[in-house]
Structures are given as C-alpha cells and as structure tokens.
Chain A
Amino acid sequence: MIPLETFRVALRALLRNKMRSFLTVLGIIIGVGAVIAMVAIGEGAKAQVEASFASMGSNLLIVLPGSTTSGGARGGFGSMPTLTWDDLGAIQREAPAVRYAAVQLRSSAQLMSDDQNWATQVNGTSPDYFRIRNWKADRGRLLLDSDVESSAKVVVLGATVVDKLYGAVDPLGQTVRIKNIPFEVVGVMEKKGQSPTGQDYDDCAFVPQTTFMTKIQGGLQKFISGTIFLGATSTEATARAQQQVSDLLRDRHHLDNGADDDFSIHNLTEMANAREEGTRTLTTLLASIAGVSLLVGGIGIMNIMLVSVTERTREIGVRMAVGATPSNILLQFLVEALTLAVAGGMVGVALGVFTAGRLAAKFGWPTLVRPDIVVISVCFSGMVGVVFGLYPARKASQLDPIDALRYE
C-alpha cells in the first residue's frame, strides 16, 4: 500500500473521533509546549549573561593590588598599592598567554563643559585597554600611544557623560574641564550598557595614564595606584594567563611558598562560565520536568491506541480478509500514533513559542527560542508516538482474521 494512502486512512480514522484525538494529544501538546517555553526562558537567561560578560571584555583578567595589614586589621584587596610599573612591564614581556596589559587608574572627578557639569569616574589608561575591553569609538578616536607619551590633555567620553554635558551638541573638539584643567574631547565611546552588577559602563571618561598621574591624581612613582587589565590570547588561555601572571608576580614580589598573595587576579571568563553553568542547570531541570510530561503524553497515546485497536477489531478483520498483510495493519496503526504525536508536537511548538513570547512581554524575561530545540522536540514527540504506538499496532497486526471478523 502506498504510504500516502496509509497516512490518509490514519488521518481519517483520527478525525472520526476529533474530541478523543484532541484529548489524547493534549499531553504531547502540553509536554512539547512546556519544553519549548522552559528552554526558551533558560536560553534567554543564558544569552543575557553571555552578553553582559561579553560587554566587559573578552578573555579578561583583572589584577588587583594587595592588602595592608596594620595593627592586626587586614585591609581588603586594593587597600595598598603593591603592583609596580615594572610588574606591568614584566607581564607584557614574560607572560606569553597575555596579549594585552593596561592599567586602569581611577578617580572620581567633576567634569565641566561650558554650561553643564557632571561627576563621573575618570580613568587613566593606555590604548590597549580598549582592545582588552573590545570597546570602540562611536565618534572621533580613542586614545593613542602618542597621547600617552606626550601626556596630552585629551579625553574620550562615555555616552552617558556626553549626554549629560552636551545633550545634542557635538562634543568633538570641545573643551571639558577636569579638576579645572582643560581637556580636548577627541572621541566618544560607543554605548556599552550595564555591567552584570548593574553599573553603567557609559558613565566614565578616559584620559592618557601619564596625563592622569600628572594632572588629576598624583600617585606614587613606582607603584600603580589602580588595577591592571589583562587580555589573554584566547578564551582557553585565560586560565594559563592567570597562572603565568600569578607565578610571575609572586616571584617578583619575593613571596615565600606559604605566604599569601599580595595581589588578586579575577578571571572574568571563569565567572561567566560559572553563571552560565547555573543557568544551564536551571534549563536542564526545567526541560526534564517538561520531558516527563511528554512521556506521560506518550502513555496517553498508547492507551487510546489500545482502545482503538479493540474497537476496530472487526475493521481489522475485514481489511485482513480483503488482503491486508500484518505489516499493512501494523503500519496503519503506527502511522496513526505517529500522526497524533507529531501533530501534537507541532501544536505544542506553537503553544511553547506563544507562551515564551507572552512571558517575555509580561515579566520582561529574556527568552530565546532555539530552532534546534524546536526540531528536537517535534522529533522526540514523533519518537514517543512510534514507541508507544508500536505495542498497540503490533497487537492489531497479530490478530487472527477469523477471530477479528467474528468479534462483536
């Protein structure tokens, strides 16, 4: 018998009992819908975490200077400058897994345009910093090596600062006063949004590190009064870079084997992975609960197919009498179960996508419907149909034609 005919016969049999067919596939619909919606929520959360970490910078390591201990009270990291400019040079030279290294000297300062003012974080740094953070200029230019060498009084502003100081006016070429010293605005950073902790990345200004030290906040000559940002050569290399820098700094700081580090290295890639791991666990949990409901849906299909085989025993007998082989009958009931399950799966996908959309709109949750999950869900429900349809179909095909014809 032609496959298309088998499908047509199956479809007709199912449409004959519309309500029953619908109730049978309801389990599959809810199961698949739940899988799609749950995974969409999980994936949305994951994508959000990924995006926020990506905006901090790729393959990023941050080295913080160490702590002071005075009178038994131990200060936190960064309470004492322990990192030297020589350390920075050594890292650049001797840690092969590190591609870029740049300082970030920070100070809070009042910025003044001609008619506005705004307090923001002013950073002293070098051009590599922007490469580490994967941050580009929206207008104008970034800091240049020549700016650093010549201690140029130039500033690159974040988008928020531009908005506060200049509004719609083009800030390029304007003069902004930082601690009453005039700086020329040479660039505006592209918008970066919020950090994973909710801090506004765009509320800041950048000046060359040399200018920062001479004009904004005089530091110690030898020590860096800030943090060092490192860019590893690749994502895989971040752990290696961390180890290399750690070994290098311990060696340079003459720390004994048992002594505490007088610095700390934060591995942002690891943090991102940990967060992702968390959302992945959540996704797996939600998906397995949804998967169980799919299984329950499959049992519903088996149940109704068994009823159907019993009800249609006479029909099976007639079909066999006119020449249906056992495999014809097997195929017919199998296709029926498969049709039920796949139709349920497709309706379930629609339901899941709709639900994900509604949740996104209502609660502002980020959701992401992954096409591969959609395909997998439909295939899986088809598999459920075949697995749970096989026993009833086999039962039908094994009927004795004489008994089946006599069945009342």
Chain B
Amino acid sequence: MALIELEGVSKVYRMGDVEVHALREVSFAVEERDFVAVMGSSGSGKSTLMNIIGCLDRPSAGSYHLDGREVSKLDRRELARVRNQTLGFVFQSFNLLSRTSALENVELPLLYGGTPARERHARASEALARVGLADRAHHHSNQMSGGQQQRVAVARALVTRPRLIVADEPTGNLDSRTTVEIMALFQELAATGITVLLVTHEPDVAAYASRVVVMRDGRVRSDTRQAGRRAADDLTAAPPVDEAPHEVSA
C-alpha cells in the first residue's frame, strides 16, 4: 500500500467573486521510501498540493489517504496530531525560532508530542549529530549560516522519526554548494526509509529525486521516474565544510 494516496483531489479558493481552481482532480500516489520532486511554475498548484499532503490544508473535494488513513476530513486538532506524529517539514526560509538554540528548535516537535524532557534532549542531540551539527547544539539560529540553519530544520523534521518529510523549496535561499549538502541529506534520509516529497522549480534540484512530477494549471502534467538520478554523495565525498557564520535574515 502506498504511503500517500490522493484520489480526485480538488482545491478551490474563493477570491471575492472569483473561484480559483488551485487543484483539479489530482490523483497521485507515492510509495514508501520514494524521493519525489514536484515541479511547476508558480500558480501551477504545487504549493497547494504540498499543503494538502503536509496536512496544513484540507482538499475541497476528493480523498487523501496518508499511511492508510483518510485525513482529508480531520479537524484542526487531529491534523496537528498527524503533522506532529507522521510528518516533518522543511521550508525555504528555514522557519527556525529566533533567539532559541538549535537544540531547542529541534526539540520543539517532541515537546508538542509530549516526549519527556530527558528523552527529548537525547533524541534532539542525536538528530543534530545526524545532520553534522552536534557541536552547534547551543548556538542560536541567528548565529548560524543559511546552510547550518537549514540543516537544523532538517534535524527538526526528522527528530520525530516521521514517515514523510515535506520540503518546500528547501534550497531556495541557499548557494549551490550548500544546496548539494542539503540534497545529500535528503537522499540519505530516503535511503534510510523516510519518504521525501520535495517541491522545487529548479530542474537542477529535482534531478536529485528518484521521481519527478510536473504540475501545471492544477493538474499533473508528467510523472517520470529518473533511473539515472544525480547522486549528491559523489560531490560531497569529503565531509561538508562549514561556512563562516554570518547573519542571515530569516
């Protein structure tokens, strides 16, 4: 059974008197452990699709099964629960809490999941170590470079051991070198069994995924599996070199 199963999902927004069809009967499935890139120009519906898959929004019509559970009719509280337990998010603008240490940022989902303090610290430290930031645990987010911040965000996404990580233009604010580092991380996560859904408009970034879905006008235009995907590991055979910390406007 697929992890994500969308059946005829539509999303209609009302902007005054005008109805905007962001998604038109999208049917789409993602198997577990897959690494899918969703591409499309702005207005193609890819962000709406990501919001629905990420349980931040509900479809106007159609059904959405996440890990076998129908989630399209859940209320705000239950959706929050699903986001906390099953999902991890990585955003373009990092969205870390400012003036808060990396460790505490990573602990945040566990806090809302009700994990006891001791276990929270241990798991957050472990997640930071996994993204190569064990030595930065007590740095505040504004003391870190963009690449480091995004790695903290990845650690925050994977600390709850989610089934699915949804990444919205995660490399949009990063230079090409750190882009490679982050993509390497995602490939590594996919290899260890976490399904990754990546939204991007850069073909270079989509090239790292195993499967590319192209959206246009609220519909899926093409859905291709990339046999010869680019491996980020080759480019970062040497451990990632940290950039000098500098102020980043998040």
A-B contact list, 26 entries, CB within 8 Å: A1-B112, A16-B99, A320-B80, A320-B83, A321-B56, A321-B95, A322-B83, A322-B84, A322-B108, A322-B109, A322-B112, A322-B156, A323-B81, A323-B85, A323-B112, A323-B160, A324-B112, A325-B76, A325-B77, A325-B80, A325-B81, A325-B112, A327-B77, A328-B80, A405-B56, A405-B95
- Whether A321 and B89, one on each chain, are in contact in the complex, defined by CB atoms closer than 8 angstroms, is yes
A2 CB within 8 Å of chain B: yes
Interface of B is mostly: helix
Whether A315 contacts B97 by the Cβ 8 Å rule is yes
Residues of chain A with a CB closer than 8 A to B81's CB: 323, 325
- Number of contact residues on B: which range applies? 20 to 34
B156 CB contacts on chain A under 8 angstroms: 322
Known contacts A402-B51, A402-B56; A326 and B97 CB within 8 A of each other: no
| Contact pattern, B 73-104, Cβ under 8 Å of A = 1, otherwise 0 | 00011001101110001010001110100000
> With A1-B111, A1-B112, A314-B95 in contact, is A323–B84 under 8 Å at CB?
yes
- Total contacting residues, chain A, CB less than 8 A: 21
User: Nearest-CB distance from B95 to chain A (Å)?
Assistant: 5
Q: Interface on B for A, CB 8 Å cutoff?
A: 51, 54, 56-57, 76-77, 80-81, 83-85, 89, 91, 95-97, 99, 108-109, 111-114, 117, 156, 160
Min CB–CB distance B98 → chain A (angstroms): 8
Q: Are B80 and A323 in contact (CB under 8 A)?
A: yes
The answer to whether A323 and B83 touch across the interface, beta carbons within 8 angstroms, is: yes
| Cα–Cα, bound, A311→B36 (Å) | 35
Please tell me if the beta carbons of B80 and A1 are within 8 angstroms of each other in the complex: no
Q: Does A317 contact B (CB under 8 A)?
A: yes
Complex: how many Å from CA A405 to CA B92? 11
Tell me which residues across on chain B come within 8 A of A321, comparing CB atoms. Answer: 54, 56, 83, 89, 95
Tell whether, in the assembled complex, residue A1 and residue B91 are in contact, meaning their CB atoms are under 8 Å apart. no
How far, in whole Å, are A224 and B89 apart by their CA atoms in the complex?
100
Closest to A9 in B: B111
Please give, as numbers and ranges, the residues of chain A lying within 8 Å of B84 by CB-CB distance: 322-323
- Check if A319 is an interface residue, CB within 8 A of chain B: yes
Which partner residue on chain B sits nearest A327 by CB separation? B77
B111 near A405: Cβ-Cβ < 8 Å: no
| A325 contacts across to B, CB distance below 8 A | 76-77, 80-81, 112
A401 neighbours in B (Cβ, 8 Å): 56
Establish whether residues A322 and B89, one from each chain, have CB atoms under 8 Å apart when the complex forms: yes
A115, CB-defined interface residue at 8 Å: no
